[in-house]
Amino acid sequence: MPHSVAARASRSRISVAVATRIIRPLVGARPGSARRLPRAPLAKLRASGSLKPLRPPPPHWQSAAMKRRQFLTAAATTTGLAATLPTWLTRAAESRSGPSRQFYELRRYHLRRGPMQQRLDDYLREAALPALNRLGVEPVGVFDVAHGADSPAKYVLQPYASLEVFLAAHQKLGADPAVRQSALAAAPPNDPPYLRVESAFLIAFEGMPRLEVPPQTAAKKPRLFELRTYESHSQPANWKKIEMFNEGEIGLFRRTGLTPVFFGETLVGSKLPNLTYLLVFDDQASRDKNWAPFVADPEWKKLSTTPGYTDAEIVSNISNLFLRPTPYSQI
């Protein structure tokens, strides 16, 4: 054993000596001293154009972009987005040949009955929506639960043209004067503006890349929305259901009289993997009536029984929720 240790020590001294002979001529005779080129070769290099000047610091917009990338990476690490970022960014990039796909944030505010509901309405109507619109986020939908166990709750749907718009809006919204001066921002801990907020982040389907404002909104007519979520047992199964929508089901919706507002794959949220979409109707009676032609359609029956597309293979749970828009909702 002593002999082995001595041998290793000897080899280490030889390695250091060899490394010193190789490296020292490159950096100078003494460690820490940089070896300078003679002035004549430097002048020749400058004259030949081979010696490039140092680049100036990056302009402000490049620094901001770098900060946005760093912010997104940090957010991904802390929120669990890191596991899904490569996958969904790749999937988004695959559709660059078509129309750009929007991103959606669907927020659910848990409320308590009483003045809390009115305070949140006042904040959204007078401060948040105008500020979001100024930041390029529009139209923004605000909905109350029409009926169900989730009441009272308020849903807010915010569309973003790109990830950059999403990041900029979230960074700048808190600095907006109307938001900073709102009663909600000054709410004390013993009288909160809401109980909790849940948020889901989605990317639009290729088959419907952008949100479509329903005709009832422009006409200021009463309307009822149905928010539907399809959960799958695995990510490939979820993608298969999305493929089914893109390849035929969205077209069937439109042909049989169903009016979609958006379709989105949930990238970050609860009960993953899943997809969510929103339909609009005049009322509950028209909702029941409009679903009937779709369910009875021969093309739907054929599609839904195609191997690989059956619910038993790709859908593990379906939930739906009925929503009514607030008077100030933009959807």
Report DSSP letters for 52-78, one per residue.
PPPPPPPPHHHHHHHHHHHHHHHHHHH
List pLDDT tens digits, range 124-176.
999 999 999 999 999 999 999 997 677 789 999 999 999 999 999 999 998 99
**Bridge partners, 275 (sequence order):** 230, 265
Q: 116 vs 230, which has greater pLDDT?
A: 230
Q: How high is the pLDDT of residue 46?
A: 52
**191 is written with which tokens?**
């009288």
Cis preceding linkage at 293, omega within 30:
no
Q: 186 vs 263, which has greater pLDDT?
A: 263
| Confidence bin at 115 (pLDDT 50/70/90) | confident
How crowded is residue 224: how many other Cβ atoms within 10 Å of its Cβ?
19
What's the CA gap between 3 and 6, in Å, rounded? 5
> What percentage of residues in the chain have a pLDDT greater than 90?
61
* Amino acid letter, 50: S
List pLDDT tens digits, range 83-92.
444 455 545 5
Residue 139, phi-psi category: left (phi > 0), alpha (psi -120 to 50), beta (remainder): beta
| Mean pLDDT for all residues in the chain | 80
| Confidence bin at 43 (pLDDT 50/70/90) | low
How crowded is residue 297: how many other Cβ atoms within 10 Å of its Cβ?
15
List pLDDT tens digits, range 216-249.
998 889 999 999 999 999 999 999 999 999 999 9
Domain boundaries, the chain: 80-325
* Amino acid letter, 161: A
**What is the DSSP secondary structure assignment for residue 82, as one 8-state letter?**
G
List pLDDT tens digits, range 263-288.
999 999 999 999 999 999 999 999 99
CA atoms within 13 A on the CB side of 177: 0
Give CB contacts under 8 A, 24+ apart, made by 282-291. 282/216, 282/221, 282/222, 282/223, 282/224, 283/222, 283/224, 284/224, 284/322, 286/224, 287/224, 287/226, 290/256, 290/257, 290/258, 291/258
Q: How high is the pLDDT of residue 45?
A: 46
Q: Does domain 80-325 have CATH number 3.90.180.10?
A: no
Q: Does the structure show a pLDDT above 90 at 69?
A: no
Q: By mean pLDDT, which of 22-26, 116-120, 200-204, 211-215 is the weakest?
A: 22-26
